[in-house]
Amino acid sequence: MNPSCDIFCAVVDNLGDAGVSWRLARQLTVEHGWRVRLWIDDTAPLALLRPGIDQALERQSVDGVEIRIWSAPFPVVTPAQIVIEAFACELPPAYVAAMAEQPRQPVWINLEYLSAEDWVAGCHGLASPHPRLPLSKHFFFPGFASGTGGLIRERNLAVPPAPTFSGPLTVSLFCYDNPALPGLLDAWAAGSEPLECCVADGLPRRRVANWLGAPFPAGALAERGALSLRALPFVPQANYDSSLSACDLNFVRGEDSFVRAQWAERPFVWQIYPQADDVHHGKLEAFLNLYSEGLDETTAVALTDFWRAWNGKGDVAAAWPAFRAALPALAPHGPAWARQMRSIGDLAGNLAREALNKPSRKDAMATN
């Protein structure tokens, strides 16, 4: 019998929690044959990402994944053999108690947020015993280095064609409420090069509307100087993924679109999820350090300056000309980086292998 798996996802905000959990659920089902239930406390983002998911249904099956609304009180169910809590969400206490009562305790995995910091490989796979119950939780850290859990990547994902940089520069824009945005739009509009920018639905589109001083509904086109803007509707996740390799440069954010930009193998700019006490700046630097390896110094400096400015440290308009000039040098770096990332193995594959190799705590105690 194929392994059963419960994935728990509590949506904190935005789309990333649901986006990552959905990809993992589908991959474990489709590529590994696992019987997956995805428990999610808010189905609205899922329904946006995957048309066909009905946000109102308590229980449904899509792409082979059983999707359940995670609500209180939690129903009485037999826990799965492998239990994944996404992003340290807290499992229902009754479910944890039921896990401890299983004849063979489930493998319990805490899927952490993605980070490029160098402590990640050392913490990946560590176990934390439950204080009272015969259960251990294992930390699974996605990452960019061998020894980490790697990045989510579907098996059938095609390697995109190389960029051409012919015609106007095409850019996709997906970001948070970024104070640097108006300055960048000003610089693009005042520039000598035609630039076409596809603006993602939601916050980016609303902020561009503010900058335009005019309504900017999905489907609208606007021109200011050298800059043409197109307001996109919200597109399904699969279409979002493929749209990235149609652009010369992608602005992405958070966790999931950040990873997709890397598989699109185009130059990209990351707005990291802002955290309290500015801890995200350290995480941004950790990624920049890794990603800049192998770049010539001029290109590395242009990239670093622009990414820092986009994340609130520097002047984005001042940093743009050097970054623009570096794009042709950055272009071949995308495929090289993606090759390096593929060599770590994909996250779902690594997780499936590691989960099936873990003894349950009860078994481990019996052999000691």
Is residue 142 within 8 Å of residue 117, measured between CB atoms? Answer: no
Residue ranges with strand state E in the chain: 4-9, 35-40, 59-62, 65-69, 82-86, 107-111, 127-129, 136-140, 169-173, 195-199, 221-224, 227-231, 249-253, 268-271
What span, in angstroms and rounded, lies between the C-alpha atoms of 286 and 291? 9
Instruction: Find the shortest distance in angstroms from Cβ 36 to ligand TRH.
Output: 18
Q: CA 223 to CA 225: how far, in whole Å?
A: 6
Nearer to ligand TRH, 17 or 248 (CB): 17
Give me the residues that bind ligand TRH (CB under 6 A), please.
Answer: 12-17, 19, 49, 113, 174, 200-201, 234-237, 240, 253-258, 273
- Least distance to ligand TRH from the beta carbon of 73, Å? 25
Tokens representing 40?
């999610």
Task: Check 6, 17, 112, 256 and give the catalytic one.
Answer: 17
Closest contact distance (angstroms) between CB of 113 and ligand TRH is 6
Q: Which is nearer to ligand TRH, 174 or 302 (CB)?
A: 174
Question: Residue 39 and residue 45: Cα distance in Å, rounded?
Answer: 13
SS3 9: strand
- Write out the two tokens for 321: 């000309």
Q: Residue 271: phi, psi to the nearest 5?
A: -100, 115
CB-wise, 135 or 232, nearer to ligand TRH?
232
- Of residues 6, 85, 248, 255, which has the active-site annotation? 255
Query: Would you say 306 and 320 are in contact if contact means Cβ atoms under 8 Å apart?
Result: yes
Task: Find the shortest distance in angstroms from Cβ 267 to ligand TRH.
Answer: 17
Largest CA distance in the chain: 73
> Which phi and psi angles does 37 have, rounded to 5°?
-110, 130
Query: In whole angstroms, how close is the CB of 340 to ligand TRH at the nearest point?
Result: 21
> In angstroms, rounded to a whole number, what is the distance separating the alpha carbons of residues 67 and 51?
14
User: Is residue 17 among the annotated active site residues?
Assistant: yes
Cβ proximity to ligand TRH: between 96 and 247 the closer is: 247
Residues 6 or more apart whose CB falls under 8 angstroms from that of 333 comprise 267, 294, 295, 299
**Least distance in Å: CB of 312 to ligand TRH?**
16
Residue 13 or 193 having the CB closest to ligand TRH: 13
Nearer Cβ to ligand TRH, position 218 or 221?
Answer: 218
Residues 6+ apart with CB under 8 A from 336: 294
Tell me the residue number closest to ligand TRH, measured at CB.
16
Of 49 and 180, the one with the shorter C-beta distance to ligand TRH is 49
Residue 49 CB, nearest distance to ligand TRH (Å)? 5
Q: Is 346 a catalytic residue?
A: no
Active site amino acids: 17, 255
